[in-house]
Amino acid sequence: MSRDGTTATTETGAPGPAGRWRDRLVAFGWLVLLWNLLWGEFTWGNLLAGALVAGAVLLFFPLPPVTFGGRLRPRALLVFLLRFAGELITASVHVSRIAVRPGYLPRSAILAVRLRVRTDLNLALTAEVVSLVPGTLIIDVDREAGVLYVHVLDVHGPSDLTAGRDRILAVERRIVRAIGTAAEVRLVEAAAVEKGTPP
């Protein structure tokens, strides 16, 4: 896409007709693959039925245009996936420990966190991942302003609040590094330097 490397970074993405068709084609291919995987085997019948179902789904339930404008960076993607797996395990242990500790009443907080990259794709991915990593859960999203409202579990003081905020921004940074455009990466890197947090 031509959007890569341009200065406009935070628009919600209005791809041209070619981009729309590419997106539809990708969605179509994925749906056909899904249908075949669900039946457990690839046959001509399954391919044909999958194509029909995929066509119907795309025709009757059109998705809002969310275009992937960046590029995949395999190394950053690997870092993201490893950190995600690690944090999912830490989060599970953390919540499990609170769940079985006798007579413990966890306190919590609701934070508003403004993301730096406001594309729909980034908002959705960050929201998904944030719900699965330690201590945080999405409650509400302000799509226009790019703000996530996050519930933080097990708060002991102000330091836990800043830690929660930093963790969410770190998740965003890792996602943008893995799949964002060059301009978006510069944006999150600049914010990281400004705040003095290590990369």
Partner 1 sequence: MLATLADWLGGCCLVAGALLSLVAGIGVLRFPDTLSRMHAATKPQTLGVLLLVAGVALRLRTSADLAMVGLVAVFQLATAPVAAQMIGRAAYRSGRVDRALLDVDELQ
- Near partner 1 by CB under 8 A: residue from 41, 144, 194, 198: 41
CA–CA distance, 68 with 180 (Å, rounded to integer): 8
Q: Residue 86 or residue 199: which is nearer to partner 1 going by CB? A: 86
- If one asks whether residue 145 binds partner 1 (CB under 8 A), the answer comes out as no
Say whether residue 138 binds partner 1 (CB under 8 A): yes
Give the integer Cα–Cα distance in Å for 32 and 100: 44
Residue from 49, 149, 191, 192 touching partner 1 (CB under 8 A): that is 149
Sign of dihedral through CA atoms 177, 180, 181, 187?
Answer: negative
| Least distance between partner 1 and beta carbon 36 (Å) | 9
16 Cβ partners below 8 Å, 6+ apart?
none
Binding-site string for partner 1 from residue 52 to residue 71, where x marks contact by CB under 8 A and - marks none: --------------------
Length of the chain: 199
Per CB under 8 A, which region of 20-28, 63-71, 128-136, 167-175 contacts partner 1?
128-136
Distance CA 124, CA 148 (A): 10
193 binds partner 1 (CB under 8 A): no
Nearest-angstrom CA–CA distance, 188 and 199 = 10
By CB under 8 A, what part of segment 77-106 binds partner 1? 88-89, 91-92, 94-96, 98-100, 105-106
Kindly report the backbone phi and psi dihedral angles of residue 9, in degrees, each rounded to the nearest multiple of 5, phi listed first: -120, -25
Query: Rounded distance, CA 172 to CA 56, Å?
Result: 34
Query: To the nearest whole angstrom, how small is the minimum distance from the Cβ of residue 193 to partner 1?
Result: 25
Which of 37, 82, 182, 193: binder of partner 1 (CB under 8 A)? 37
Tell the smallest beta-carbon distance from residue 9 to partner 1 (Å): 25
Least Cα distance to 161 among 150, 175, 148 occurs for 150
Q: Are 28 and 58 in contact (CB under 8 A)?
A: yes
Q: Write out the residues near partner 1 by the rule CB under 8 A.
A: 34, 37-38, 40-41, 88-89, 91-92, 94-96, 98-100, 105-112, 127-128, 130-132, 134-135, 137-140, 149, 151, 153, 155, 161
